[in-house]
Amino acid sequence: MTHDDSVDLYQFDLPEELIAQVPVEPRDESRLLVVDRATGSLQHKQFRDLPEFLSPGDLLVVNETRVVRARLTGIRTNTGGRWEGLFLREESPGVWRIIGSTRGKLLPGETITLQSSALAGSADTVTLRLLSREEGGEWLAEPQSDTPTLDLLEGFGDIPLPPYMQRDSQASDIQRYQTTYAKTPGAVAAPTAGLHFTPELFEAIRAKGIDIAAVTLHVGLGTFRPVAVDRLSEHQMHAEWCELSEETVKKISEARQRGGRVIAVGTTTVRTLESVASLGELRPWSGMTSIFIRPPYDFKVVDQLITNFHLPKSTLLVLVSAFASRNQILSAYQAAIEEKYRFYSYGDAMLIQ
């Protein structure tokens, strides 16, 4: 057991007014706290200044997952009670893994009539039949429809804003709670470090001789779950599906050969790259990962990290503390609080060099 194993060591106090409820516009006008791991120095910049800190030959790796409209509401057929839930993933064709809450006890075989999304404005209805209760309050359920899952979610789902955003999703969130390069649908939360990038910023990055590659990791509900045990070594990490392509493996190899650095955009990109590297070598791979990166950890691929500011006692805060050090990260967070940086999904970012 290491000294940093206690979850309480990752606690900090955050004024509620610093939790960003809406994003800044344009995207790259958010702030950027640059942390130098070697010297401990901090620089206060804007996100559009990022190219200043990158060098020709570097490789920027992004997560191109796309957020689906996963938040669901419905009416229990047998009681008329209200049900609220979240689509987690399609377990097999026509079978959903979901989580939900309602008054009273749900039973296998029960049905829920989903209400159409306020954003979609559809007058249609669809019934969801509960199949079996799973671990962690999750359920397997079967929509009584031949419509493809993504189309059903477009018609009946809302944007799954995090619980600390104390508001309903709006039409603007459809575009804004999504990276500009989102491609492969499957996430129930945005890879938030990527929300700051604009097409113009990518142009400036490429113009400096910096290459860009992509991975996919479908961010799951577990990203918001606090660590519920006293010791990190006792925490059971959630699993998420990820993919590393042959093209990205090749780009990483080429960057290494030319002396370039690998800069990961977001903790999800880190988890993907380090998950595959932990198998012995960097190679094309896809599957479920439950890697828990915590101090002390020897990073095998990632040289620099772009990330947002995370929740106290969260596995994401632990990951960035493994990349720098816990004291360095908490010190940077304190400076960010004093400078009134905006925290969490729609908040500002840091570059850890």
Q: Do domains 3-67+174-352 and 71-156 have the same CATH topology?
A: no
pLDDT tens track for 75-105: 999 999 999 999 999 999 999 999 988 888 8
Helix, coil or strand: residue 213: strand
Q: Which CATH fold would you assign to the domain 71-156?
A: Thrombin, subunit H (2.40.10)
Q: Would you state the pLDDT for residue 324? A: 97
What are the strands, taking DSSP E only, across 47-104?
Answer: 59-63, 65-67, 71-76, 82-92, 95-102
Q: Would you state the pLDDT for residue 169? A: 86
Determine contact, residues 110/196, Cβ cutoff 8 Å: no
Q: Would you state the pLDDT for residue 165? A: 86
Q: Would you state the pLDDT for residue 2? A: 52
pLDDT tens track for 140-160: 999 999 999 999 999 999 999
3-67+174-352 in CATH: which number?
A: 3.40.1780.10
Which pTM was predicted? 0.94
204: buried, middle or exposed (CB in 10 Å: 19+, 13-18, 0-12)?
Answer: middle
Residue 269 phi/psi, 5° resolution?
A: -65, -40
Segment 63-82 shows an average pLDDT of: 95
- Most distant CA pair in the chain: distance in Å? 65
Segment 327-353 shows an average pLDDT of: 98
Residue 321 phi/psi, 5° resolution?
A: -70, -25
- The answer on pLDDT for 278 being more than 60 is yes
Whole-number mean pLDDT of the chain?
Answer: 94
pLDDT tens track for 202-243: 999 999 999 999 999 999 987 777 788 999 999 988 899 999
Domain boundaries, the chain: 3-67+174-352, 71-156
Q: Could you please report the per-residue DSSP string of 256-315?
A: HHTT--EEEESHHHHHHHHHHHTTTS---EEEEE-----SS---SS-SEEEEE---TT-H
Query: What CA–CA distances, in Å, run from 114 to 87, 111, 151, 309?
Result: 12, 9, 14, 35
pLDDT tens track for 297-323: 999 999 999 999 999 999 999 999 999
